[in-house]
């Protein structure tokens, strides 16, 4: 009986530690400052993500694209907006990981990286 109990306890400990290790070891790492996060709603955020591998990753220094259409010319223009200027002034965004479709690095020479750099200089 003791032998079975010891084997059960050791098995639970090893299984639990193994699950914790793989949950934390499998989180991707990015070597660029900003990431693109696409949600299943179609919303796209650009920011510094932390907490990957958790249920609620956090985005800081968050940007999004706002599209407007000129009613006369029907021309669409896109503007990069920094979150935080809304009425509630958020300084970070918590995202439900179940709604993340994909995460990609923002390339250092991309247009988004250039626009973010311009806005960071204005701060």
| Domain containing residue 6 | 1-29
- What does the pLDDT look like over 56-112, one tens digit per residue? 999 999 999 998 899 999 898 889 999 987 888 888 999 999 999 999 999 999 999
CATH code of residue 94: 2.30.30.100
Please tell me whether residues 97 and 66 are part of one structural domain: yes
Distance of alpha carbon 23 from alpha carbon 29, whole angstroms: 13
Give the pLDDT confidence score for residue 15 in this predicted structure.
55
Please tell me whether residues 73 and 114 are part of one structural domain: yes
Please tell me whether residues 10 and 65 are part of one structural domain: no
Q: Which residues contact 92 (CB under 8 A, 6 or more apart)?
A: 58, 59, 60, 62
The dihedrals phi and psi of 31, each to the nearest 5 degrees, come to -105, 20
Number of domains in the chain: 2
The dihedrals phi and psi of 81, each to the nearest 5 degrees, come to -115, 135
- What does the pLDDT look like over 12-70, one tens digit per residue? 455 555 555 545 556 778 888 999 999 999 999 999 999 999 999 999 999 999 988 99
């Amino acid at each position: 009986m003791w032998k079975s109990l010891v084997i059960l306890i050791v098995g639970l400990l090893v299984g639990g530690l193994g699950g914790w290790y793989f949950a934390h070891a499998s989180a991707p790492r990015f070597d660029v400052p900003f990431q693109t996060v696409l949600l299943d709603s179609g919303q796209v955020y650009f920011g510094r993500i932390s907490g990957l591998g958790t249920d609620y990753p956090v985005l800081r220094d968050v940007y999004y694209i706002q599209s407007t259409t000129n009613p006369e010319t029907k021309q669409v223009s896109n503007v990069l907006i920094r979150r935080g200027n809304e009425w509630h002034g958020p300084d970070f965004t918590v995202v439900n990981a179940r709604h993340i479709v994909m995460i990609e690095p923002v390339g250092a020479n991309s247009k988004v990286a250039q626009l973010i750099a311009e806005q960071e200089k204005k701060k």
